[in-house]
Structures are given as structure tokens and as C-alpha cells.
Amino acid sequence: MTAKDKVVICDVAPRDGFQVVGPWIETATKIAVVERLAGAGFLRIETGAFVSPKAVPQMQDAADVHKGANVPAGTRLSSLIPNVKGAELAFGAGINDLVYVFSVSESHNQSNVRRSTVDSIEELGRVIDIGKDRDGFKLRVNMATVFDCTFEGRVAEDRVYACIEQALGFGLACEFGLCDTTGRAFPDHVAGIAEGCRQRFGDGELARWAFHGHDTFGLGVANALYAYQAGIRVFDAACAGLGGCPFAPGATGNTASEDLVFTFENMGISTGIDLAKLLETAEFVAGLDGVATGGHLRTVPRKRALAAA
Ligand code: COA
Ligand code: ZN
């Protein structure tokens, strides 16, 4: 690795993290978290989700959070959607940077968005039709349960590639998020799929790649590093290790952003993130009512955490 190596970390705490928090988090607090993350240097932040308020009540102020956050020019704020209705609501609010989610495993897709994987991919085509001519339209396709499904176990590799092939058939260049929704992927599996994707579909023209990890089994950082070795340069993580899917029982938080920043920076890989500011933000988030935290770095003496290796 050279000093020029760089990664982009997208903090997803305001979406993946807050979606599982029971007590209502005030809109102003959510906005403050987005602004603090941007202030710490994150160039990408997932601010919320346009999903059924009955399914995930905490996300119902997604438009207000997204539009209320005052972040430096160049910071990308994105919103998750599960269907055309979500896209219409986001576009209606002037939000064009979207993350469309579906699951590779059938049972998790049914549990999460109440339809088959094939139907979700078809609906992705309709989202692309509506969005492709909009100025500034950007699409991440988050493929949940790429590695493991709570209900079905290890997911067949061929199924992952078949889903990507269908999605690419719509002709739009997009970034695919390879999501370890349950946190039960192992590093060799992550590297194998990441390499398989890049070999089959290239990297940069039509398809680009990101890794979205959860730390349920303590493998979040290791998995991200194997994804890095396999050529991935965009990572999702959540400050204070928040996160979890309400429809994947047993899955815990995302890999903590501060753990990932600490690791990359001390390996000479630049994240562009100010670790001290990120840790302050993580403390703020960890103090919110009803959040379940994870990660390691917050628990070690701050001086040790911030001392360069
Ligand atoms: N945003 C807001 N409301 C939505 C919506 C969206 N994207 N999509 C549907 N709705 C509303 C409908 O208008 C309808 O409202 P009503 O009951 O007041 O008439 C209701 O939700 C049900 O709509 P329907 O199309 O029948 O959806 P469904 O009940 O089959 O649920 C989803 C499907 C996808 C809307 C729902 O399962 C969902 O929101 N899942 C998201 C899960 C999630 O966020 N998981 C974590 C992130 S991966
Ligand atoms: Zn997740």
C-alpha cells in the first residue's frame, strides 16, 4: 500500500443506526448528527429512508432531516428507498441521491419489503426509468444478504451475480453495495464475492462497488479489510457502531466508523476523516435515548485512540 491509497467511508448511522431505535429521536437531533458527521469530514452520509412509516416509524422525517442539514458543498447526502413510492417521495422533496435496497435471499426480501426478489429488481427498473433523466440522479443499489441470510443461511454466489446482471440490464451506471446484513460473512467470503464482482462486471464503467458491513460476530473491520484487498474503496459504517435491520432478527450494529477510520489511517490509507471529531460525534450519538452501541475505539483511552501508530 502506498501513502496515496484512499478510501471513502459513508456513515449510515442516521439511517441504518436510527431505524432500529425505539424512542423518537427529534428531527433537530438527527440533523445535528448529520452536520457533525459532515464536520468530521465524511463526504458521504445516508440521512434516512423513504419507507413505510408503519414499517419503520423512526424514518418518517427523512425529508426534513435531509433538507434541514447544512453541510459543506461536496458532501453527498443520500436516502434509502425500497420501491417506486419511495423514489417519488424523495424526488418530490428534491432528493436525487438514492440507495435502492433489495435482498438477494428471498426470505429476507419478503420479510423486509414484502415481495419477491424478482419483483424488487423489476421495481428497480421502474425507479431507474423515472430517475434517469433527472439532473443529479445518482443511484446506489444496496444488495442485502449478499453473504448470509438470517432465515436461509449462506447465500449462493450465483444468485448474487444473477441479481447484478439483471440490475445492470437496465443500462444505468450505478454503485452496488455488497451488504453483509447479518454480520455473519467471513473475510474470505467477502473477498471472494468482491473479486468475483469486479472480474465479471468490471469496476468504474457501468458498475462500481461498495462494502456494507455489520459487526455482529466481531468481524466487521476484518471483512472491510478483505474487501479493500479485493479492490473495494467505498465502505459503509456507522458512528458508535449503531445499526441493525429490524427485519433480520439477531443482526447487530454496523461496523463502527471510528474503528474503520482508526484502522485505515494507521495503515497509511487516507479516509479524510478527523478521528477526534468523529469520536466526539460517536459519544454524542451513544448518549441518545434507546440506542444500542458497538465498536471498540470509544472504549479505549482517547489519547491512545488518537496517537498515530
Ligand atoms: N414510503 C412511505 N410510505 C410508503 C412507501 C414508501 N416508500 N411505500 C409504501 N408506503 C405506504 C403506502 O402508501 C401504504 O400506506 P397506507 O397504508 O396509508 O395506504 C402502506 O405504506 C402500504 O403500502 P404497500 O405498497 O401495500 O406496501 P407493503 O405494506 O407491502 O410494504 C414496503 C412494503 C416496502 C413499503 C414496506 O415493507 C417497507 O417500508 N419496508 C422497508 C423496510 C426497511 O426500511 N428496512 C430497513 C432498511 S433495509
Ligand atoms: Zn445494514
d(CA 303, ligand 2 centre) in Å: 30
DSSP 8-state assignment for residue 6: B
pLDDT, tens digit (0-9, with 9 covering 90-100), for 93-131? 999 999 999 999 999 999 999 999 999 999 999 999 999
Domain of 221, CATH number, reads 3.20.20.70
Q: Whose CA is nearest to atom 6 of ligand 1?
A: 51
Q: DSSP string spanning 259-270?
A: HHHHHHHHTT-B
List C-alpha distances in Å: 212 to 69, 137, 220, 270: 23, 21, 9, 18
The three-state secondary structure class of 58 is: helix
Q: Is 245 labeled as catalytic in the residue annotation?
A: yes
Residue 153 counted as domain residue = yes
pLDDT at 4 over 70: no
Residue type, 176: F
Between CA 100 and CA 120 the distance in angstroms is: 10
Is residue 137 within 8 Å of 131, Cβ to Cβ? yes
Measured from the Cα of 81, ligand 1's closest atom is 7
pLDDT, tens digit (0-9, with 9 covering 90-100), for 27-40? 999 999 999 999 99
Range of the domain at 85: 8-306
Domains of the chain: total:
1
Between CA 181 and CA 169 the distance in angstroms is: 25
Residue 297 counted as domain residue = yes
- Model confidence band, residue 181 (pLDDT cutoffs 50, 70, 90): very high
Ligand 1 touching residue 56 (CB < 6 A) = yes
Residue 205 is predicted with a pLDDT of 84
Residue 161 counted as domain residue = yes
Residue with cell 440506542: 291
d(CA 4, ligand 1 centre) in Å: 43
Average pLDDT in the chain: 96
The one catalytic residue among 10, 174, 239, 245: 245
Residue 308 is predicted with a pLDDT of 78
pLDDT, tens digit (0-9, with 9 covering 90-100), for 249-290? 988 999 999 999 999 999 999 999 999 999 999 999 999 999
List C-alpha distances in Å: 140 to 79, 127, 261, 270, 286: 10, 12, 22, 23, 28
Residue 244 counted as domain residue = yes
pLDDT at 134 over 80: yes
Residue 162 is predicted with a pLDDT of 98
Q: Residue 275: CB partners within 8 Å, gap ≥ 6?
A: 258, 261, 262, 265, 305, 306
Residue 2 counted as domain residue = no
Burial (Cβ within 10 Å: 0-12, 13-18, ≥19) of residue 291:
buried
pLDDT at 1 over 70: no
